[in-house]
């Protein structure tokens, strides 16, 4: 399956007291047409910064300093500012974590969707409003005509997220990036939004980059999974392979922390410690300060890429050591 989006050796840095701090450090992944790739990890793993880097939306003074981002073979990092604006919201759309911070509180939501449509297409206000109404119907907003004239504060969290999804779809994107799309919603509304995203992705044959810390959502939506820790990928695999047979200790720790997988009444397992801040990242394996399998090489040098299967990548000294000992038998 050919890649629609190819990200290679992507590095994003912010200035630090002792030189640049690479918050995205050598990240590579691909996304095929119609595929859903989940980018998972704890808060502080810089999943969102990776997505912002692919769209050249890194907040200043940070910047992408190295790597390649190709959309259907076109290098996005070489485009002019004007050309890149046509890609953002056009060929690639993004749904952010908190819709209330993305919607203008003093502008009616219908007008905001109309403006998004007219920014990327030649359409009259009337035609764009009719498109917006049709999109509201598609994403399940009740009484769409009335909702077009509502202000954001008049809508529930679930309806605001549906407005953001309608806005993201308004330009018929090839790729939809969804950054923690259900974080601020209650459980019932989360399930509704997940079902909506699954149906829309299938009906529009879109590719999707799903950013989440919730492995339940991954199991619902993803085709493949890329696990990220402290600015680097640690494991990439097909969803059922990764969830059924995790090979990296960090992936194992994430899976053990899912409540549904813990015995009833037993304490919930957790990964000790927290993701360190970028200025405190170890020079070797980033997970070495929390890893139960760490040994001498882990602190000294980053692990190399291992390919235990053609479509699987793992970065782990312990796994490399195990493979070496098995090959030596």
Provide the pLDDT for residue 266.
Answer: 66
Mean pLDDT by 10 residues, the chain (329 residues): 91 94 96 96 94 96 97 96 90 84 92 92 93 94 95 92 91 92 80 87 92 89 96 97 96 85 66 91 94 92 94 95 77
Q: Is the dihedral of CA 29, 30, 31, 36 positive or negative?
A: negative
- pLDDT for res 270: 84
* Phi, psi of 207, rounded to the nearest 5 degrees: -90, 150
- CA 164 to chain CA centroid, Å, is 16
Pairwise CA distance, residues 291 & 284, whole Å: 12
Show the beta-strand stretches assigned E in the chain. Answer: 3-16, 19-32, 36-40, 63-71, 74-75, 92-95, 175-179, 207-212, 224-229, 232-238, 305-309, 312-315
Distances (CA, A) of 257 to 78, 215, 248, 272: 41, 10, 15, 11
The reported pLDDT for the residue numbered 261 is: 53
The pair of structure tokens assigned to 27 is 């990240």
Q: Which domains does the chain have, with CATH numbers?
A: 3-91+173-327 (3.40.50.300), 99-172 (no CATH)
């Amino acid at each position: 399956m050919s890649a629609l989006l190819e990200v290679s050796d992507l590095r994003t840095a912010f200035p630090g007291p002792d030189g640049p701090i690479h918050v995205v450090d050598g990240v590579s992944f691909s996304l095929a047409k119609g595929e859903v790739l989940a980018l998972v990890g704890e808060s502080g793993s810089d999943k969102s910064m990776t997505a912002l880097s692919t769209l050249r939306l890194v907040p200043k003074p940070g910047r992408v300093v190295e790597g390649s981002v190709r959309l259907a073979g076109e290098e996005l990092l070489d485009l002019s500012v004007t050309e890149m604006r046509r890609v953002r919201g056009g060929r690639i759309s993004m749904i952010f974590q908190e819709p209330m911070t993305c919607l203008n509180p003093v502008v009616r939501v219908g007008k905001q969707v109309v403006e998004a449509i007219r920014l990327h297409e030649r359409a009259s206000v009337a035609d764009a409003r009719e498109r917006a109404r049709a999109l509201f119907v598609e994403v399940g907003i009740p009484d769409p005509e009335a909702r077009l004239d509502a202000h954001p504060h008049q809508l529930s969290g679930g309806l605001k997220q549906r407005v953001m999804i309608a806005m993201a779809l308004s330009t018929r994107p090839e790729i939809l990036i969804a950054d923690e799309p259900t974080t601020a919603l209650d459980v019932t509304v989360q399930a509704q939004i997940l079902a909506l995203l699954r149906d829309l992705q299938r009906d529009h044959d879109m590719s999707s980059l799903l950013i989440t810390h919730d492995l339940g959502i991954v199991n619902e939506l993803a085709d493949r999974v890329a696990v990220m820790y402290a600015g680097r990928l640690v494991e990439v695999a097909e969803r059922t392979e990764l969830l059924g047979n995790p090979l990296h200790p960090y992936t194992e720790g994430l899976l053990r922390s899912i409540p549904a997988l813990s015995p009833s009444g037993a304490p919930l397992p957790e990964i000790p410690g927290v993701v360190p801040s970028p200025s405190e990242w170890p020079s070797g394996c980033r997970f070495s300060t929390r890893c139960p399998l760490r040994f001498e090489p882990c602190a000294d040098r980053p692990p190399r890429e291992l390919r235990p299967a053609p479509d699987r990548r793992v970065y782990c000294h312990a796994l490399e050591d195990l493979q070496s000992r098995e090959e030596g038998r």
